[in-house]
Amino acid sequence: MELLGLHHVSILTGKAEKNYEFYTKILGMRLVKKTVNQDNTESYHLFYAD
Percent of the chain scoring above 70 in pLDDT = 100
pLDDT score for 4:
86
- At 15-30, the pLDDT tens digits run 999 999 999 999 999 9
Q: What are the strands of the beta sheet with 8-13, ordered from one edge?
A: 8-13, 44-49, 30-36
Q: What is the mean pLDDT of the chain?
A: 94
Task: Report how many helices (DSSP H) and strands (DSSP E) the chain contains, helices first.
Answer: 1, 3
pLDDT score for 30:
96
**Sequence-ordered alpha helix ranges (H) in the chain:** 16-21
* Domain edges within the chain: 1-15+27-50
